[in-house]
Structure 1
């Protein structure tokens, strides 16, 4: 049964922490699949569709590296006293899985904290994590209200009352991590920008937790706001925020290609298709998938999951080049994909730099013309026709043109 979308709060967050609610369907051969009646086949295909769309987070090198850095920052902030706590910022372009990285770390952190001294994670007297997603035109009160709502606190009263309520709850519930997603919506420019900037500093100072900001182009946003934010305030933020960068898969080195192949093998192991062959993606379609998706996690997932839907509906039960050619992806990677894939096939598209490769000339140059010199053949840079002799002007009566009159 599909789960319905629910408002994000600490109760529903626990359901996410517990993991994927969908069980992996049993594998079937083509013969047993064809032996199902229409109703049984439809139910089986629905279970496979749910599984493929929710088969879980894969531990990519990017995720492992980011989790390690986040763990260092959070662990270093577990101190008492008035020492400033640093904030973590996962800053990456869209489509690289930064929200997945932040959420998966927060899930793991929640589970670890709930195991520490508590026998049952259904007790809600401990709320280790707060998660808030931002929108445009955020105000200071709205941000505090969203944190209170996540914890199940009343949101009535003045902004000061909300602050006090939130502070008491985070201390009492041992909240140690606050995740704020889509932080690029915060506009630090102008009067309101300074206000929200100072409010975030206030919360970071008052709440005994590490802030984890997630978004894209955050460095550029803060850089553009230098005319609106006082230098001292901006420097203070830069002194507290540690950036955790996320990059696409890189295949320019042998290590990168091995990591890419290992990732595709892991994806293959998650798929439930009747005609699945080992190496279907990792050996036969590695360069193709990279050229289609630019190595970006969001688009890789779109290509594979949508491909599985088509493979099941068509009865092909495997991912092939022809099948994936008909899958539309997000505009960012779909534009120019035909030339990228064709270039990768011919070896003139560099998968590492996403640019045409400067290949050496493969066709021989036309042979230069030669001229005979003293019985031999010597290359000549240029063949020139023989010079035309200049006419010799004669003097006297015979040099006059016919019919010309003598002077």
Structure 2
């Protein structure tokens, strides 16, 4: 197989494939986990090498470049390293516990579009794979009593209008467990407990937890139910926007010695059908913050991140230091307020404009015509803060965006011309 054939095969897997897997199902989680690092970016070419490809090669390479910019990798930052240290330590410690005690959980907070979900999912997937490798090393033939369909990690999105029943159903949907209309809340809770146990789940990740509104009785009951899950020998990982101001912590106190939020034992002997243990519920609270631009160390971290992003781009006329030299770092920070997700959106749209216009380079003047679109995506709850605030932008000069022409047939007359 030639290099061009390899590139075509890599493109076909992503351009012609179906929709990405849904991580909130067991099958989708395993599929995402197995393929999350399999994207092959386009080769880095300069303008002369691109022109030498021929018409068909140029069209396919432009398509591959567009796919590369649409699938920029999640880069490690000082903030994600902080979350990784705390969450990995908690998952490891709880995994090794044999005592029938309540496992401490983790709350990951931060603003919208700061990569909380992707960071937590990547950490949880890495942890799962580490234990699977260890299991094969220590017990290559398996152990008696192990599950045929293990699910060490369960990822669930909190329903937009969360109630105890809908939350239980969302968890059961992850496993594909049977749900009937005759099941009342205690039945659903027992089914959740059974699924967690039967699939050997060690970490239950509940995303968008700040959709709970603590002024609603149903939401208070849902939070009580979620805390009760901590007695099922799972590590509860809650992800939400600005958790400290959401009301979720109003019953808790911050323990300065341990750095944990401590919730008192339930007052009721049963919580929605689950026997309530008289132990405190503890959560590590860790923030995935945005970049800041005040101190030399913070500026250096931002510039280093921009350098990492620049290495991932495939523009034909991009000079070294395209995103890091001159006033570009300050300009990009002003446009995005240091939010990684907004930077990715601006760069992705900017690359589309640069390719379509033939400029093949990101400049401040080109980015001036790009408006960052952070409108509500599917399943996003604006009231819960899941749609990020975009800094106000007043373009200094209006320029018309050029339509991407990667799929256009320019005809025989243009077959041997370059940009």
Q: TM-score, normalised by structure 1?
A: 0.74
CA distance in 1, matches of 2:343, 2:395: 16
1:61 positional shift:
0.8
Question: Which of 156, 159, 164 matches 1:132?
Answer: 156
1:73 positional shift:
2.0
Are 2:359 and 1:335 aligned?
no
Question: Which of 178, 183, 194 matches 1:168?
Answer: 194
Are 2:229 and 1:211 aligned?
no
1:179 positional shift:
0.8
The count of aligned residue pairs is 332
Deviations 1:131-184 (A, max 9, x none): 011232212122122222212322235243333333233223321111111111
Worse overlay, 321-330 or 151-160: 151-160
CA distance in 1, matches of 2:336, 2:346: 8
Structure 1 gap segments, 5+ residues each: 340-407
1:329 positional shift:
0.9
CA contact (8 A) 2:102 2:279 kept: no
- CA spacing shift, 1:212–1:126, aligned 2, 3 Å: same
For the aligned residues, what is the CA RMSD? 2.8
CA contact (8 A) 1:67 1:105 kept: yes
Aligned to 2:11: none
Q: Secondary structure at the match of 1:116?
A: helix
1:224 positional shift:
9.0
Q: Secondary structure at the match of 2:108?
A: strand
Deviations 1:303-355 (A, max 9, x none): 1111111111111111111111111114633414669xxxxxxxxxxxxxxxx
Q: TM-score, normalised by structure 2?
A: 0.72
1:127 positional shift:
1.1
Question: Which of 109, 114, 120 matches 1:96?
Answer: 114
Are 2:278 and 1:241 aligned?
no
Aligned to 1:14: 30
CA distance in 2, matches of 1:234, 1:247: 32
- CA spacing shift, 1:317–1:169, aligned 2, 3 Å: same
- Larger Rg computed on CA atoms: 1
Deviations 1:184-203 (A, max 9, x none): 11123243233212211222
Structure 2 gap segments, 5+ residues each: 1-13, 142-146, 252-262, 268-277, 375-388, 397-419
- CA spacing shift, 1:55–1:111, aligned 2, 3 Å: farther
- More RCO (CA 8 Å, sep 6+): 2
Aligned 1:25-36 pairs, distance under 5 A: 25-36=42-53
Aligned to 1:397: none
Aligned 1:143-292 pairs, distance under 5 A: 143-156=167-180, 158=183, 159-205=185-231, 207-222=232-247, 240-284=282-326, 285-292=328-335
- CA spacing shift, 1:258–1:124, aligned 2, 3 Å: farther
CA distance in 2, matches of 1:237, 1:89: 19
Worse overlay, 289-298 or 241-250: 241-250
CA contact (8 A) 2:152 2:203 kept: yes
